[in-house]
Structure 1
Amino acid sequence: MLINGGYPGPLNKADWGDRIEVTVTNRLKTNGTSMHWHGFHQLNSNNQDGVAGVTECPIPPGASRVYSFLATQHGTSWYHSHISSQYANGIVGPIQINGPSSYPYDTDLGVFPISDWYYDSAEHIVDRVMDPNNPFLKGIPGSPPPSNNILFNGKGVAPNGTGGEYARLKFTKNKRHRLRLVNASADNTFVISIVGHSMTVIEADFVPVQPYLVRQLYLTVGQRYDVVIKADQEVDNYWLNATLSSTPLCGVSLNPHPAAIISYEGADESKLPTNIGLPAIEQFCEDDTTPKPLTSRTAPKADFTNTEVDTLSVTLDVKEVNKGISKVLWAVDGSAINVQWEKPTLEYVVEGNFTFPRQANIIKLPEAAKWSFWVIQNNSPSPHPMHLHGHDFLILGRSRFTSNPLVDPGRPILFDPAVDGPHLKFDNPTRRDTTVLPPFGWLVIAFEAGHNPGSWVFHCHIPWHMSQGLSVQFLERIDRISQVLPDLMPELRMKCDDWRDYADKEPGFKMRKIDSGL
């Protein structure tokens, strides 16, 4: 699947504060679609978030929809389909929002998405990962197959060297180059490094940070980093490496050495770089908590210690979904999400119907403005890149797992408020919208709720895990959704009627729902 005939899709470029309007036309023959604008807070515009079954009905074949929203943040992101696992088929594209920078640079190289690529369709992979008889990874059910390749801005050489081409970036000696990195993968996590060069990090997930220098950068699914690199080496070609972890739980690929090329002006581009560089330091899917936001935000420690903190427990289960049919599902507090394409959450809200299906996994947040604290407990050996819509969050702390969970699984490390609470960081910790829930461990986050009415999903960004149900919906200020979106009802009903009309046709012409629908 392609956008405007290409992969990745066209760059959406705007300035901070602009209104962005994009018309999405569905030219697929039998698939619905939607488009999500990853990382945008969508302040008072929840209906533009693009999540099928939550903020809208899918766009049926032959139909169009206009997304319109303000660029209230600046930096780097991407857009992608948000219906089932469809984005893994290729419905992704880069976003660049120009704004102030915390560090000087001479040249903006633009957005550079890195993504895994599968020869099989996402739908077939979902069918297999949900089949309890089809384990892919060391006997763990629900594990995906390895990706066939890793692409850099849509380019890559086949692992057997028989075709394709390396993506290439141009450096000018002694100039400072801004590079906007995006992990647009389905499953693979990377450690990014450039042979002989350091990178100065200036933004993480739309959040400007105090500049800091690194030799390598951990980049999980859905994350973005803006970095500045000084071209201070000899005129030559250099590898940009996207190293895979030694543990397959961070993603597996048939490409053992994913790489692109940095070419200095004047270098002989007919020659490949000769130095592959030092191997990346093993991180076992452990995310970086170095970024310190330029704009300080502090969570009130007293609110965390003086109230009952909410916990979300993530488990991997084999459950009977129909008589005699079992599926491998990811559950949150025992429930795997399953949304209704034909009746999204927002339609319930504007109708005044607050009796939601259990499998909608809706969590109603307090109506008044208040900090929301969450402990996410992972009872499985799989790490999860957790992404929140509508907000970024403060990372107060997480457990550490310094060994391979497949080799030394131990027991789940449970969050203990008495032991772990004093070590949490409340004063301007790392803030972003995507971070890793460690294997057999815990993650504590906080975000300020009450100012952005809507239904915001919080989910693992691995599409196979989304398909298997790893998500909840935070329903925020349900009393104000209709007020901030006064024209929502007629538009939502018209678009949903289009989908319902399509879905009522001959079954052979409509999209088969095989998963959670997200």
Structure 2
Amino acid sequence: MATQGSLLLALFVLLGTCFKADCHSHAGDCTMDMDECVFHLDVEHRLTMMDQRTLTFPSNGKLFAYDVVNTSDASPIPADNVITGDGWETPKLITAVNGKFPGPDIIVYEGQKVVVFVKNRLTSQAVTIHWHGLHQEGTPWMDGVPYVTQCPIHPGQTFKYEFYAKPKGTFWWHSHMGTQRTMGVFGAFIIKERLEFDVEDKIMQIQDWNHDHDSDTGHMKMLFGAYQGRQKWAGYKSLDDTFFSIFEIQSGLINGRGRFYEENNVDHNGAPLTVYDVQPGKVYRFRVIATGALYPFRVSVDNHNLTVIASDGYDLEPVVTESFIINPGERFDFKIIADQTVGNYWIRGISIVQGRYHRADAILRYNGAGDEDPRTSRKVCSQTSRCTVVNCPFTQYPEMYTDCMTFDQLRSAVSNDPAPPYIVGKFQEYFLNFAFPGIKTFPGSVNGRSFATPDVNPLVQPQEWSSPCTEPKCGPDNHCRCTHALSISNGDTVQMIFMNMGVGRGWAHPIHMHGHSFYVLKIGDAQYNDTTGAFVEQNSDVDCRGNLYTRPDKSFCNDATWSNPDWLNGEVPGLNLDRAPRKDTIIVPSGGYVVIRIKADNPGLWNMHCHIELHNIDGMQMVLNESFSEVPSVPKGFPECHSYPPSAARLVRENDALQYGMEGKNDGIFSDRNYTILFYLMVAVLAMQLFVFLAICCVCRRQSSHKSDSFSPGQTNRAFSGK
């Protein structure tokens, strides 16, 4: 009987392997008529500036082998063969997906079932994939947060993600493990409507870049000090005179390509850039995704107005603007009309830092234009032709004739999606301060609570983890380390005030919420100098309270409330309730606050955190424990994880399971005779299925004999659209 069981298992494995290796690898593009789309993501290490085993160097927008002396007489190496970064010639270790950086674009249609097999080919690191902006309604275990919704995918393992594509819009996927996101494990995830449109999409992923070290090293430098030679480096300042975290970058990238600029921001190393080809007279939709570690970028296109039409997957009333600012985790969609003279035009991403800024460049190239760099300039703002910057993290832009538009000044494009209302008995309000409060140490925290990551999957193993945030260790004037969870009840309207205030303020934070897209009702900015735009003092609408309170900027601000008690119970003046724009990532200005609302209608455990990678791993995150008793049952066999020795709760579970298993033994139906009959029946069925499958394979291979669309590790699946 053991031999029969082994043969039966082998047949299952053979058939399963054949299906995975053949049928999935021959998946074509995800088309509108499909009900299910299957993708494969292989995560592996690569080096920048290498063409297989050959080092390359940049010159005049092209790449050449390391030993070329005269580039005018040499054949360039195709740029698509090389992960370039900013063209810095010393190779940097990155983490690629299907051999690409950024990883492949996943483009699907609204309502389709999406299946993604993630294979971890790394040697020393685990991985997970988060589907940024997707609500995962009914599938909270597919959200991809390690030790919150799943166990990590260890080296050599494969994990199957399975969920439905909704809502429509611009999203992205990325690792949620440590600093892997900025190491390269990310890509666009676009959900289109099942309609035909004449407007062509262009995907633009923008990020900051350090060509010397990765974000793990950057995090250590943030904690223990950064030095340039023997000089201690204090970091960059924002345009509003507040500080950024101590994380050095040299360049900006668009779709994985950029240039290293000298101090004058003019001379550069000639690395190849991303080029967007356009036809004169046509309209194009750019889907911009901020995938970086820390720094915001101001995005513009020389000689072209931008019409901003959506953010984080939700449509906005169109706004014509010169530029917009995008922060890590955010997405903005804009349209342009290719109505200029045939030529090349700069697409610019400029970091909003004081002094020497950083450039993320790409080229808008009209059909018929030459293969050369643009010679265009940014718009000159004037009294008669002012510039508007959308999504400012402050109210005063420190440039002449330039106006700021904060996100709460935008309006939703639809009139039938109002914010959830205040309902007596079904309304909750929470003040959440994302900051670095402290006296001697200053960990990232939410209300002074730095997130302690569980060593189990609490979505599946809730009884095996307990790390409550209780007083006095987590009081108004303390910071503590615990698994910070906020319990919200099904059907309630939940109003949250995201703050960046008190003694720990100083960095603007892009706050990302999993499981929901919230309504942005109001932004309360700090006070700024009318002339220079510099920060003056924090907003006085919020009372930070606390025993250490001597003035607003000295409190930890762990136990805040409205300064005016009449603002409680949803009575905050100036809330936009009818046409509130929706987002999943919002910038919380230094010294200010953002009022958002959700309806608690998606049971699960949802991570909420600052999307600056350094801040997130430093503890500036928490969990929304939403209607946990109504969370759907996880799929059978879903992985569990735990430390060794196991906790007392786990030992109780295992003992109960063992006792139940022994009591439930039954020799009735599974006798030797019945098992033999069942075995041969299953063998016969499997043999018939195998015969039919092999016949289909022969037909498929004959039809595809003239095509080269097969997938193998390290190559791009045709199911992914190129950038």
Aligned-residue offset at 1:76? 1.3
Q: For 1:485, which of 633, 636, 639 is the aligned residue?
A: 633
Moved more, 228-237 or 309-318: 309-318
- The alpha carbon displacement at 1:48 in A equals 0.4
The aligned residue for residue 199 of structure 1 is 306
* TM-align CA RMSD: 2.9
| Equivalent residues in 2 for 1:123-162, closer than 5 Å | 123-131=216-224, 136-137=234-235, 143-160=245-262, 161-162=268-269
Which stretch of the first structure deviates more once superposed, 52-61 or 154-163?
154-163
The C-alpha deviation readout for 1:341-387, integer Å capped at 9, x for no partner, is: x31221333xx457444411111111x31111111221202110011
Of residues 51, 69, 73 in structure 1, which corresponds to 2:163? 69
Give secondary structure in 2 for the equivalent of 1:56: coil
SS of the counterpart of 1:125? helix
Does 2:533 match 1:399? no
The correspondence for 1:373, drawn from 495, 500, 515, is 495
- For 1:274, the aligned partner's letter is T
Name the CA distance, whole Å, in 1 between partners of 2:166 and 2:388.
36
- What SS does the aligned partner of 2:97 have? coil
Structure 2 counterpart of 1:513: none
Identity of aligned residues (%): 25
* 2:372 equivalent among 258, 262, 270: 270
> Match of 1:491, SS?
coil
Secondary structure of the equivalent of 2:528?
A: coil
Tell me which of the two structures has the higher relative contact order, counting C-alpha pairs closer than 8 angstroms and 6 or more residues apart.
Answer: 1
Alpha carbons of structure 1 residues 406 and 16: separation in structure 2 relative to 1, 3 Å? same
Deviation at 1:26, TM superposition (A): 1.2
TM-aligned CA distance change 1:422 to 1:141, over 3 Å:
closer
| Equivalent residue for 2:148, pick from 27, 36, 54 | 54
1:112-171 per-residue CA deviation (whole Å, 9 max, x = no partner) reads 111111221111111121237887337999823232211111111222312421211111
Query: Residues 87 and 189 (structure 1 numbering): CA distance in 2 closer, same or farther, change over 3 Å?
Result: same
**How far off is 1:393 after superposition?**
0.3
Q: 5+ residue gaps in structure 1?
A: 249-253, 320-325, 502-518
Do 1:394 and 1:446's aligned partners in 2 also have CA atoms closer than 8 Å?
yes
More displaced, 458-467 or 299-308? 299-308
The answer (yes or no) to whether the contact 2:275–2:362 under 8 Å persists in 1 is: yes
TM-score w.r.t. the length of structure 2 is 0.61
Alpha carbons of structure 1 residues 141 and 393: separation in structure 2 relative to 1, 3 Å: closer
- Answer yes or no: is 1:313 the counterpart of 2:430: no
| Match 1:288 to one of 401, 407, 411 | 407
> 1:224 maps to which residue?
331
* Residue number among 618, 621, 631 corresponding to 1:468 in the alignment: 618
**Do the aligned partners of residues 394 and 305 (structure 1) sit closer, same or farther apart at CA in structure 2, a change above 3 Å counting?**
farther
Describe the shift of the 1:29–1:236 C-alpha distance in structure 2 as closer, same or farther (beyond 3 A).
same
Equivalent in the alignment of 1:85 = 179
C-alpha change, 1:394 and 1:141, in structure 2 (3 Å) is: closer
State yes or no: 1:22 paired with 2:22: no
Secondary structure of 2:459's counterpart equals helix
What per-residue deviation string (whole Å, max 9, x for no partner) do you get for residues 43-72 of structure 1? Answer: 011100000111112111111111111001
SS for the counterpart of 1:336 is strand
2-structure distance, mates of 1:467, 1:304: 38
Q: Which has the larger radius of gyration?
A: 2
The C-alpha deviation readout for 1:228-258, integer Å capped at 9, x for no partner, is: 211111111111111222459xxxxx76333
- Shift of residue 291, structure 1, vs aligned partner: 4.0
Cross-structure match for 2:484:
361
Corresponding position: 1:441 with 2:592: yes
1:257 aligns with 2:359: yes
Q: CA deviation at 1:402?
A: 5.9
Contact (CA 8 Å) 2:426, 2:493: kept in 1 or not?
Answer: no
Take 2:254 and 2:595, find their aligned partners in 1: how far apart are those partners? 33
Give the direction of change, closer, same or farther, for the CA distance of 1:284–1:16 in structure 2 (3 Å limit): closer
Specify the code of the residue in structure 2 equivalent to 1:124.
Answer: T
Note if 1:178 corresponds to 2:178.
Answer: no
Q: 8 Å contact 1:148–1:255 — kept in the other structure?
A: no
Distance, in Å, in 1 between the alignment partners of 2:184 and 2:370 is 33
* Distance in 2 of aligned mates of 1:97 and 1:345: 30
Q: Shift of the alpha carbon at 1:308? A: 6.2
Distance in 2 of aligned mates of 1:83 and 1:52: 7
Instruction: Give the Cα separation in 1 of the matches to 2:368 and 2:122.
Output: 44
Pairwise CA distance, 1:294: 2.0
Contact 1:106/1:177 (8 A) holds in 2: no
Partner letter of residue 145 of structure 2? V
Letter of the 2:234 counterpart: F
What TM-score does the superposition give when structure 1 sets the normalisation length? Answer: 0.84
Cα 1:424–1:241 change in 2 (3 A) is same
Relative to structure 1, the CA distance from residue 307 to residue 40 in structure 2 (aligned partners, 3 Å threshold; closer, same or farther) is closer
Say if 2:214 is the partner of 1:106. no
- Aligned twin of 1:509: none
Please tell me the residue identity of whatever aligns with 2:512.
Answer: H
Using the alignment, how far apart are the partners of 2:177 and 2:424 within structure 1?
35
Distance in 1 between the 2:154 and 2:441 partners?
27
Instruction: Find the residue that maps to 1:309 and give its secondary structure.
Output: strand
Give the direction of change, closer, same or farther, for the CA distance of 1:23–1:500 in structure 2 (3 Å limit).
farther
CA distance 1:20–1:163, change in 2 (3 Å): same
- 1:166 alignment counterpart: 273
> Partners of 1:305 and 1:346 in 2: how far apart?
28
Once the two structures are TM-superposed, the CA of residue 412 in structure 1 deviates from its matched residue by 5.1
- Aligned pair in 2 of structure 1 residues 64, 500: CA closer, same or farther (>3 Å)? farther
Pairing 1:240–2:359 present: no
Q: Contact 1:131/1:328 (CA < 8 Å) preserved in 2? A: no
Tell me: CA distance 1:291–1:159, structure 2 relative to 1, closer, same or farther (3 Å). Answer: farther
Residue 486 (structure 1) shift: 4.2
Distance between the aligned counterparts of 1:212 and 1:284, measured in 2? 14
Between 70-79 and 159-168, report the one with greater CA deviation.
Answer: 159-168
- The one-character-per-residue Cα deviations of 1:398-421 (angstroms, maximum 9, x if unpaired) are 112463899534245443454781
Tell me by how many angstroms 1:105 deviates.
6.2
- The aligned amino acid for 1:410 is E
Q: Does 1:348 pair with 2:461? A: yes
Q: Is the partner of 2:342 in helix, strand or coil?
A: coil
Q: CA deviation at 1:297?
A: 2.3
CA distance in 1, matches of 2:341, 2:146: 50
Task: Decide which of 185, 188, 191 is 1:97's aligned counterpart.
Answer: 191
Q: Secondary structure at the match of 1:464?
A: helix
